[in-house]
């Protein structure tokens, strides 16, 4: 063994002695996979749909583009989304969501079907995202995790009028309105075991901008935001809650599945289908405009490569690390629950190590970390300022599958600004 590798092993051994206590103070992101596996329908199959790639995009989609996920329930909410379905049976006229309007996003819609498309009392429907707590849970998470959407917009029928009501409050309710099949309540209930029962999460859609745009579109609708109540306590609120929960789990700009916005819109039951589709498009344009603003203000530090063995990825994304800004660090794709060490130094000196290449040699400091059950860990709110300076960062992980028992992430060049 080379002297350098011996010194690194000694450093890792020393940090192991301190690592348990130190890493306990670093809050890992909650296990993103916990939600689909808590209920008996976790492995429920999703209805047949066109082939999707590894990020959930349809084979004829724009694989390099970020995605937006739309969901609907009773008409007119499902009919308003039909042109965004990639399923040729549901949407024989063809998917319009590929690089929609040239705005740089692929838009995908998912919804159930009903025996009578103009139904009044529609029941649970058939297909994906049926109006059923277990079916919705079993379908929503694989769809969202596959798409990794930058925004989630959920829709359902609201009052029997011409309203376009954006729900601000979505609750992790312990008791819900019964659905149509036993079990009549979500399993578990409340659905989010990692969040206080009956506590609210808020819509992160650009609510007022949507209201203003729908009002200005001359569609004859009455747009509004409901700030004072819940969203009804039935499947509308349930899927709305799943959306804002998903967004919160992926709220870090350093998350490879970064999600910037989610929320629920109740669609008035008297709105003609074509008008509802037009209002969806108006709302979607406002969401995309908001995404574009935030993405333009977000910087990821330079990836130098040098990753491997293993497939872990290190990212620092957020502000430009000037004074008054901050960014998040993520280490993802490691073995679940593994110990890791984040090495940071001022010297770029690629050096062979554990079958890979270490870049920050010698490291100025080494920070012990513990990955969560998804193999990820996040350090949020890293303050900018103190520059100009360049620091180099890289992580080493315990990885039984890697040669020598260690994995190595890619390296970053982190620019600190004044």
CATH number for position 218: 3.40.630.20
DSSP 308: -
**Pairing, β 106-110 against β 67-71:** parallel
**Which helix (H) or strand (E) element contains residue 364?**
none
Domain shared by 63 and 209, yes or no: yes
Classify residue 301 by its DSSP letter. Answer: P
Average pLDDT value for residue range 261-266: 98
116 and 234: one domain?
Answer: yes
Q: Which of 132, 139, 153, 416 is nearest to 281 (CA)?
A: 153
Does one domain contain both 288 and 304? no
pLDDT at site 63:
60
Q: Do residues 12 and 57 both lie within one domain?
A: no
Which ranges constitute the DSSP H helices of 255-363? 273-296
Residue 171 structure tokens: 């609750």
**Residue pLDDT, tens place only, 87-113:** 999 999 999 999 999 999 999 999 999
Are residues 330 and 359 both part of a single domain?
yes
pLDDT at 64: 85
Share of the chain above pLDDT 90, in %: 82
- 249 SS3 class: helix
Same domain, 289 and 320: no
Peptide bond into 3 cis (omega under 30): no
Per-residue pLDDT tens for 271-322?
999 999 999 999 999 999 999 999 999 999 999 999 999 999 999 999 999 9
For residue 414, what are the β-bridge partners? 391
Domain harbouring 363, CATH code: 2.20.130.20
Distance separating alpha carbons of residues 156 and 49, to the nearest angstrom:
21
Select from 270, 296, 322 the last residue of a domain.
296
Task: Based on the fold, state whether residues 187 and 258 are members of the same structural domain.
Answer: yes
Q: Write down the pLDDT at residue 403.
A: 84
> Above 70 in pLDDT, residue 412?
yes
Two tokens, residue 298? 């977000």
Pair (75, 223) in one structural domain: yes
Query: Among 98, 40, 78, which Cα is nearest to 280's?
Result: 78
Residue 174 to residue 181: CA distance in whole angstroms: 18
What confidence tier does 382 reach under pLDDT thresholds 50, 70, 90? very high
Same domain (yes/no): 88, 99: yes
Q: How far is CA 112 from the centre of its chain?
A: 22
Average pLDDT over residues 254-267: 98
CA triple 12-13-16, angle to 5 deg: 85
Confidence of residue 62 (pLDDT cuts 50, 70, 90): low
Tens digits of per-residue pLDDT, 143-187?
A: 999 999 999 999 999 999 999 999 999 999 999 999 999 999 999
| pTM of structure | 0.86
Q: What is the pLDDT of residue 33?
A: 32
Q: What is the token pair recorded at 200?
A: 């609210």
Residues 26 and 42 both lie in one domain: no
Structure tokens of 239? 């899927």
217 and 351 co-located in one domain: no
- Asked whether the predicted pLDDT for residue 255 surpasses 90, the reply is yes
pLDDT above 90: residue 323:
yes
Structure tokens at 75: 């008409």
Question: 351 forms bridges with which residues in the sheet?
Answer: 358
- Give the domain-ending residue among 266, 296, 326: 296
Predicted pLDDT at 30: 33
Instruction: Break the chain down into helix, strand, coil percent, rounded to 5.
Output: 25, 25, 50
**The last residue of a domain, from among 252, 281, 296:** 296
Domain that includes residue 9, residue range: 3-30+299-416
Could you give the number of structural domains in the chain?
2
Does residue 271 sit in the same domain as residue 340? Answer: no
Per-residue pLDDT of 3-13, as tens digits, reads 444 444 434 43
């Amino acid at each position: 063994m080379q002297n350098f590798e011996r010194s690194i092993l000694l450093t890792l051994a020393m940090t192991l002695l301190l690592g348990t206590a130190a890493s306990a103070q670093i809050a890992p992101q909650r296990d993103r996979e916990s939600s689909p596996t808590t209920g008996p329908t976790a492995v429920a199959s999703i209805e047949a749909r066109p082939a999707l790639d590894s990020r959930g995009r349809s084979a004829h989609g724009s694989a390099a583009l970020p995605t937006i996920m739309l969901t609907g329930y009773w008409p007119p909410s499902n009919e308003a989304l039909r042109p965004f379905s990639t399923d040729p049976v549901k949407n024989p006229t063809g998917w319009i969501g590929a690089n929609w309007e040239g705005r740089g996003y692929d838009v995908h819609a998912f919804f159930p079907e009903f025996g009578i498309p103009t139904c009044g009392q529609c029941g649970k429907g058939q297909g994906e995202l049926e109006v059923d707590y277990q079916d919705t849970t079993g379908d929503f998470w694989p769809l969202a995790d596959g798409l990794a959407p930058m925004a989630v917009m959920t829709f359902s029928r609201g009052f029997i009028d011409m309203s376009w009501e954006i729900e601000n409050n979505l609750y992790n309710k312990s008791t819900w309105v019964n659905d149509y099949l036993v079990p009549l309540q979500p399993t578990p209930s409340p659905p989010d075991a990692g969040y206080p029962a009956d506590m609210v999460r808020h819509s992160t859609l650009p609510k007022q901008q949507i209201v203003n745009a729908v009002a200005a579109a001359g569609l004859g609708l009455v747009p509004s935001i409901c700030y004072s109540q819940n969203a009804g306590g039935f499947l509308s609120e349930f899927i709305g809650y799943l959306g804002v929960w998903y967004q919160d789990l992926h709220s870090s700009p350093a998350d490879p599945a970064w999600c910037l916005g989610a929320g629920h819109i109740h669609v008035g039951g008297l709105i003609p289908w074509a008008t509802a589709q037009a209002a969806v498009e108006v709302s979607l344009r406002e969401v995309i405009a908001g995404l574009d603003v935030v993405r333009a203000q977000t910087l990821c530090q330079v990836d130098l490569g040098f990753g491997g063995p293993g497939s872990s990825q290190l990212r620092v994304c957020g502000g430009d690390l000037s004074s008054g800004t901050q960014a998040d660090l993520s280490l993802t794709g490691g073995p679940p629950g593994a110990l890791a060490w984040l090495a940071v130094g001022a010297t770029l000196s690629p050096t062979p190590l554990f079958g890979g290449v270490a870049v920050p040699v010698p490291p100025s400091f080494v920070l012990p970390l513990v990955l969560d059950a998804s193999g990820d860990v996040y350090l949020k709110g890293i303050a900018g300022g103190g520059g100009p300076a360049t620091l180099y960062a890289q992580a080493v992980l315990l990885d039984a599958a890697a040669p020598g028992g260690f994995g190595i992430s890619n390296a970053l060049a982190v620019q600190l600004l004044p």
